[in-house]
Structure 1
Amino acid sequence: MPGLDPFKLTEEVYKKVARFNKGFEERRYYRFRGGKWYGGIATGDVVGCNLRCKFCWSWRYSYYTDKGEFYNPLQVFEKVYGIAREKGYRYVRLSGGEPTISWRHLIELVKLIDETDKVFILETNGLLIGRNENYAKELANHANIVVRVSFKGVSPEEFEMLTGADRSFFQYQFKALENLLNAGLRPGEDFYPAVMLSFSDQAGYTRFKSQLAKIHPKLVDSIDEEYVILYPHVVELLKRNNLKPKVAYRPDGIPDFMI
């Protein structure tokens, strides 16, 4: 039986988490915060995603669409830039869900960040950028952006098992990298891959690297390796899905192989 279609899910989620108001595309957010990632970053956590990852740390907000409140791009800018300026952070980002679902909102926010000394890190599963090369071209117009394409596993089968999406959509993540490269972004600097490895074996990871190398060898050297962090609500979700990672970490950073 085929898995879910993330592009159809995008359309359904969009109806609930985005809207136009007074000429601006607004998006639902459930919080704004500072944090230690990337050496310090200001974050706006969005509601809604087009995947259903079974290890998602934000599943209580990414799975559901009735949480949070709507903000326009300027309001979000004021929130995240204010946090970054107060804390002395160089970076800002959107996280928690899939930012590319509300594309115009995202681009208007990136434009505002362009006028500052901050760098916007776009954390994305890449599916919509892989489907639409114009998205990559539009991102290439902005100097203060880094795109982090987060792969959900190292193979089509693993992608389907982890996300609930049909395995045929896995290739759109690679296509996102190709589109970003073709748009003129620099691999390893302006964009790079991340990959969830908690459920992978070494042979699969080796094949994954080979596929990256066919796009550009610098992508292999710039992989951000991700592993499950065993927050209590993540453990709850893993148990619901009868899923046990091969490698995971406790919130304090200590390896933990038992759930």
Structure 2
Amino acid sequence: MSGYNPLVLSEEVRKHVSRTTKEGEERKYYRFRGGKWYGGIATGDVVGCNLRCGFCWSWRFSHVYAGGWFESAESAFRKIFEIARRHNYEYVRLSGGEPTLSRNHLLQVIKLFSETRYTFILETNGLLIGYDPSYARDLAEFPNLVVRVSLKGACEKEFHALTGADPSFFRIQLKSLENLLASGFKPCREVYPAVMLSFSTPESYSLLKMELSKISEALTSCIDEEYVILYPHVVEIMKERGLKPNISYTPEGVPDFMI
């Protein structure tokens, strides 16, 4: 079983979605929005990702780079801040693609929010943090940060089936949790795993919990269980990739806790 190397892909994607100007590192975005996730959150959706998940809700921007526009950290901060202020949200985030691809940009955005009352939620697949422990140490400098590591499946085989990447990189995802805890993040309160379980089995999920308990027993108590929502464009990419979820939701049938 083989597949692409997400770290090599990271370098290729970065060329298209990140640039350095006199304003610092700029990142491509394709929208800024408010939403009901986390009970209300202001979001900047970034272009580009280092995985090619066959269930991705934002694949039209995360798998290709033609759309979007560049924003400096300061301008992205101002747009997200204004949405949060207007709606009286408590949380802010970058989403859509993989935020960690533009390291300096991300750290600057988080730094700017660290001087506000808002909690920044970093949604990441964890690969770059798992590969480079210094990334976790840099993130640990910010007291307002919560890291949500989104695992793609519950084991190496599922990871490969869902992403097409070399299955060994599933271990790098797990390593990101280890690196973050070693850098001082508190399990559950400041870092926690999310797992796409629509394509998993009860057996693989049980084995994942055992793997997480080796990192920290606490992590098994705060797993964010993810399931595919059948938006038309998600159904399109799943059909193309031959993926059939065991559990899924229609947009109209999403439980309140998932909205």
Q: Say yes or no: TM over 0.5.
A: yes
> Counterpart in 1 of 2:128?
128
Matches within 5 A, 1:177-256: 177-253=177-253
Cα separation, partners in 2 of 1:164 and 1:209, compared to 1, 3 Å: same
* 1:155 equivalent in structure 2: 155
Q: Distance in 2 between matches of 1:214 and 1:187?
A: 13
The one-letter code matched in structure 2 to 1:77 is F
Cα offset, 1:254, TM superposition: 5.1
Q: Which residue number corresponds to residue 119 of structure 1?
A: 119
**SS of 1:186's equivalent?**
coil
Distance 1:100 1:185 in 2: 17
Gaps of 5+ in 1: none
Matching residue of 1:83: 83
Structure 2: state its 5+ residue gaps: none
**Distance across 1 between alignment mates of 2:164 and 2:70:** 28
Distance 1:120 1:150 in 2: 16
- 1:239 maps to a residue whose letter is K
**Could you tell me how far 1:252 is from its partner in structure 2?**
1.5
CA RMSD of aligned residues (A): 0.9
For the Cα contact (< 8 Å) 2:229–2:254, is it kept in 1?
no
Is 2:90 the partner of 1:93?
no
Deviation at 1:245, TM superposition (A): 0.2
Runs of 4 or more, structure 1, over 4 Å off, are none
The one-letter code matched in structure 1 to 2:187 is P
Q: Which amino acid aligns with 2:90?
A: R
2:43 is matched by which residue type in structure 1?
T
What TM-score, normalized to structure 2? 0.97
**Contact map agreement 2:23 2:72 (CA 8 A) in 1:** no
* Residue type of the alignment partner of 2:18: A
Give the drift of 1:253: 2.3
Q: How many residues align?
A: 255
Q: Take 1:62 and 1:191, find their aligned partners in 2: how far apart are those partners?
A: 24
SS in 2 for 1:107: helix
Cα shift at 1:153: 0.1
Question: What is the match of residue 173 of structure 1?
Answer: 173
3-state DSSP of counterpart to 1:56: coil
1:232 CA drift (Å): 0.5
Task: Tell me which amino acid in the other structure corresponds to 2:253.
Answer: G
The alpha-carbon deviation at position 2 of structure 1 amounts to: 1.8
The percentage of aligned residue pairs carrying the same residue is 59
1:23 and 1:112 mapped to 2: Cα distance? 14
Q: Look up the equivalent residue of 1:3 and give its one-letter code.
A: G
Q: What residue in structure 2 maps to residue 47 of structure 1?
A: 47
Deviations 1:201-242 (A, max 9, x none): 000000000000010011000100000000010011111112
- 2:7 is matched with 7
Amino acid at match of 1:24: G
Secondary structure in structure 2 of the residue aligned to 1:146: strand
Q: Secondary structure at the match of 2:253?
A: coil
SS at match of 2:203: helix
The offset of 1:23, in angstroms, is: 4.4
Shift of 1:80: 0.4
CA distance in 2: counterparts of 1:39 and 1:244, whole angstroms: 30
2:252 aligned counterpart, secondary structure: coil
Structure 1 residues 27-66: aligned runs within 5 Å: 27-66=27-66
